[in-house]
Amino acid sequence: MRSMKLQPGRPQLTREIRRVERDVLRMGALVEQSFRLGHQALFERNLSSAEELFLLDKKIDKFYRQIESDCTTIVALEAPVAQDLRCLSAFMQLVRDLERIGDYAKDLAEVAIKIFPYPPHSSLPEIANMSRYAQAMLATSLKALADMDAVCGQQIKVLDNEVDTAYEQLYQTLAYQRDIEGFVEPILLLVLAIRFLERMADHATNIGQRVAYIITGHRA
C-alpha cells in the first residue's frame, strides 16, 4: 500500500488517517468477497454462498458505521485542512459506495434463491460476463485506493462503458423476449439482476473517481 502525502507536522492526525485508510481497505476486501459470493449464488446455483453472504453483510455494515463515525470524530477534533480534509471527506463518501455494492451483492443472492427452482436461462452466461466486468472494476478501484493511483482510478470509466453496453443489450433481450413458455418470474428476476450489476459498476466508478479526487483535488 503506497502512502499518500498528508499534512506535515501533525503525526497524530496522520496516524488516525492511516488507520481509517486501512479500515476502508479491509471493508473493501469484505465487499469484494460478498460480490464473489453473490456471483457464485446466482451463476453457480450455490445457495450456501448466499447464506454466507448474508452473514458477511453484517460485518460490512459494521465497518461502514465505524468508519463514518471515525471520520466525523477526526474532523471535529483535529480540524484537518487541505488534502487531509479532502481525504477524510472522500473516505466518508467512498465507504457509502462500498456499502451499496455490498447491498447489491445481497440482492443478487436473493435473486439466486428465488430463481433457483427454475431451469437456467439462456442469457445467464452473458450476465455472468457482465458480473465479471463489474467485479474487475471493483478490484481496480480498490487497487487505485491502495496504491493512491489517480490514473488507475480514472481509467475505471472505460470498464464501466463495457458494463453499460452489456446492460443495454441484455435488457433488450430480456424485456422483449417473445414466445415465453412457462413462468415470467425468472425473466423479471434477471432484469433486476442486470440492474443491480449496472449499479454496482457505477459505485465502483465512483470509488475510482474519489481516489483521483484525494490526490488531485479535482472532481471528475
pLDDT, tens digit (0-9, with 9 covering 90-100), for 113-168: 999 999 999 999 999 999 999 999 999 999 999 999 988 888 888 889 999 999 99
Nearest-angstrom CA–CA distance, 86 and 156: 21
Task: Give the end-to-end CA distance of the chain in Å, rounded to a whole number.
Answer: 24
Look-up of cell digits 467512498: 94
Query: Which pLDDT band holds residue 65 (cuts at 50, 70, 90)?
Result: very high
Q: How distant, in Å, are the alpha carbons of 12, 44, 80, 213 from that of 74?
A: 10, 43, 8, 20
Tell the CATH superfamily of the 11-216 domain: Phosphate transport system protein phou homolog 2; domain 2 (1.20.58.220)
SS3 annotation, 132-173: HHHHHHHHHHHHHHHHCCHHHHHHHHHHHHHHHHHHHHHHHH
Degrees (nearest 5) of the Cα angle 200, 206, 208? 110
Nearest-angstrom CA–CA distance, 140 and 68: 23
Residue 40 scores a pLDDT above 80: yes
Percent of the chain with pLDDT over 90: 76
pTM: 0.92
**Which of these, 30, 110, 41, lies nearest to 67 by C-alpha position?**
30
Count CB-CB contacts under 10 A for residue 177.
13
**Which of these, 95, 96, 112, lies nearest to 37 by C-alpha position?**
112
